[in-house]
Amino acid sequence: MPTPPPPARLALEDGCVFTGQAFGDLTPRTTDGEVCFNTSLTGYQEILTDPSYAGQIVTMTYPLIGNTGVNDIDLESRKLFVRGFVVRELSNAVSNHRAARKLEEWLAAQHVTGITGIDTRALTRKLRTDGAMKGVLSTMPREEVSDKQLVEQARLSPGLVGINLVETVTQRKTVRWEQNLGDWAPIQGKVLRDNKRMNVVALDCGAKLNILRNLVDSGCDVTVLPYDSTPQQIMEHKPEGLFISNGPGDPAAVAQTIDTLKQLKGKLPIFGICLGHQLLGLALGASTYKLKFGHRGGNQPVQNLHTQKVEITSQNHGFAVEVDSLEKVGGEPTHINLNDRTLEGFRHKSEPIFAVQYHPEASPGPHDARYLFDCFVTMIRTGKSPTGHDMDLAQRARNKPEVAAVAGAS
């Protein structure tokens, strides 16, 4: 008979304690983090390797997790950055031909602890009602650490506000990124381009690898630099455009990158995604604020304010840019979230700067938002931020069958 898994507890700062079974790394310990939830039905491997989850304990709302196992291809970074993983039921069978190992084996190898067997519906409802909370995930015996002590540890944990988590996920080396989408690139959704490629520097604030692949696939030669690279270090690479990646935590705490963007404003075209969106907003002089429970999932509806079209988007963020403050410094909203009307994209009216809060590389639509990479390339060529009309044309080009057919045959 296999040894039964040890008990595990998830304690929240409000005094609530959930008890279940541990999986993954079973070492007796207590780990703190902000407890959040993700509503995606699949893609747990990409979620676990998204550096934007650094400092967080992630809850999956879909009840059965682990049935597709883990493979060596669907990774979004070099390691797992989540502090813990919460599921309703861990599948005891793996039934995907691409699987190389079980989820729990992978988590154990990456030293990440999960908890299964708790009521994730009740936990999610609590987080939606009361907001994201600080919590601790513990595999310590109750006789050694009481529930009361765990709750107190959760209350005293640092949380996310005011902490620069980007420095914990960025790569410290300069990397020339050459991998494109390969076999994953759809024929439908390619666009015709000339042979001139754009020289782009990408600041790694916790970049998902598929973003870099999309940049290459859209006609960019990409050099990845650490998030705290100075303007001089960036300009040494003679970039024609600058990309600011996604990443974890409070954007206001990433002061060095904000200062760098202030200095580079007007000197070259800049495109930001997720945390990059927030950092650009702050660099322009706008303000950011923490969302009640954030946007995390693969089905967030976002409306293009110019065309009124709705894109189904993948998102993972807990902060947002305040619209009124953005408009006062020359920013113009381009996209809005239809669930709560928060800002999802903006352009600068006079400078070649634009950004989106969601993830156009993550294929939820599956290709609703991939045109934004083409907008970046066009902005580099024209020196002007894309208008709503420009974005509409780029999206139409991505969806034009005759363009896709020619591009696929070339």
List helix spans (H) across 329-400: 371-382, 388-398
Region 7-156: CATH code: 3.50.30.20
pTM of the model as a whole:
0.94
Q: How high is the pLDDT of residue 193?
A: 56
For 149-169, what is each residue's pLDDT tens digit? Answer: 999 999 999 999 999 999 999
Going by pLDDT thresholds of 50, 70 and 90, the confidence category of residue 223 is: very high
Task: Specify the CATH architecture of the domain 166-409.
Answer: 3-Layer(aba) Sandwich (3.40)
Concerning whether 46 is annotated as a catalytic residue, the answer is no
Mean pLDDT of 379-404: 82
Question: Which tokens in the block code for residue 351?
Answer: 């400078």
The amino acid present at 316, given as its one-letter code, is N
Concerning whether 359 is annotated as a catalytic residue, the answer is yes
Return d(Cα 338, Cα 356) in angstroms, integer: 15
Q: Which stretch of DSSP H or E encloses residue 273? A: strand 270-273
What residues contact residue 227 under an 8 Å CB cut-off, 6+ apart?
A: 166, 167, 170, 203, 204, 205, 206, 247, 254, 256, 257
Residue 231 to residues 60, 201, 262, 263, 267, Cα–Cα distance (Å)? 39, 11, 10, 7, 10
Concerning whether 274 is annotated as a catalytic residue, the answer is yes
For 107-122, what is each residue's pLDDT tens digit? Answer: 999 999 999 999 999 9
Q: Beta 133-138 vs 7-12: how paired, if at all?
A: antiparallel
Catalytic residue from among 36, 205, 220, 274: 274
Across the chain, mean pLDDT equals 93
Tell me phi and psi for residue 179, to 5 degrees.
Answer: -75, 135
241 closest CA partner among 378, 117, 40: 378
Q: Which stretch of DSSP H or E encloses residue 315? A: strand 310-321
Catalytic residue from among 167, 205, 361, 375: 361
Domain spans, the chain: 7-156, 166-409
Catalytic residue from among 295, 317, 335, 359: 359
The DSSP bridge partners found for residue 202 are 224, 243
The answer, yes or no, to whether residue 231 has pLDDT greater than 50, is yes
Angle at 249 between CA 239 and CA 170, to 5 degrees: 45
Return d(Cα 303, Cα 335) in angstroms, integer: 5
The answer, yes or no, to whether residue 184 has pLDDT greater than 80, is no
